[in-house]
Amino acid sequence: MSSNIRLRKVCQHCQQTFIAQKTVTKFCSLPCARRNYKKRKKEEKVTQAILTTNELVLDRYAFTPKNSPPKSVNNRLNREWLNIGDIAELLGVGERTLFRTIKDASFPKVKVGRRLLFNKQYVLDYFISKSVEI
């Protein structure tokens, strides 16, 4: 059954007037409907890309309270007691250089079995006091 309704409408894509046979018709032709579909999909992708970029920027510059766990993978450097590799990474020196420095009797270290452990704050204070002497 065909409808006897004839309505003048404006195409939502090309803005030309056309005669519609249904009240829900939005486009004058199938090509206009296809073009509008592609346009909407492109706008959705652009919007999604903008939202993703904004989330990344917010995550990068977001304030993290001190009591919340850090998001970084290197959270082992946030522990109170560190091993020789972690101390070397924290200070930005090589392990061999750190071993030569450890020979100083005043260097803060704890030997547990065969392991050497270092209190991060004491080590930082040690290096700060040594830098003042120079």
What's the whole-number mean pLDDT along residues 106-116?
89
Which residue's entry shows tokens 């450097």? 77
**Residue 69 pLDDT:** 56
Mean pLDDT, the chain, integer: 85
Paired with 115 in beta bridges are: 112
- Please, are residues 117 and 87 in contact by the beta-carbon 8 Å criterion? no
Q: Is the dihedral of CA 75, 76, 81, 83 positive or negative?
A: negative
pLDDT tens across 5-19, in order? Answer: 899 999 999 999 999
**Taking the C-alpha atoms of 77, 80, 81 and 84 in order, what is their torsion angle to the nearest 10 degrees?**
30
Q: 111 by DSSP, 3-state: which?
A: strand
**Residue 60 pLDDT:** 76
Whats the size of the chain, residue-wise?
Answer: 134
pLDDT tens across 25-75, in order? Answer: 999 999 999 999 999 999 999 999 988 888 888 777 766 555 555 555 467
Quick check: 133 pLDDT over 80? no
> How many percent of the chain have pLDDT more than 70?
87
Distance between CA atoms of residues 127 and 123, nearest Å: 6
Paired with 10 in beta bridges are: 17
Q: What domains does the chain contain, in order, with CATH numbers?
A: 7-61 (no CATH), 75-133 (1.10.10)
**Residue 58 pLDDT:** 79
**Residue 73 pLDDT:** 43
pTM comes to: 0.43
What are the Cα distances from residue 33, in Å, to 17, 27, 37, 46, 130? 14, 6, 6, 20, 75
pLDDT tens across 64-110, in order? Answer: 555 555 555 467 778 888 999 899 988 888 999 999 998 988 899 99
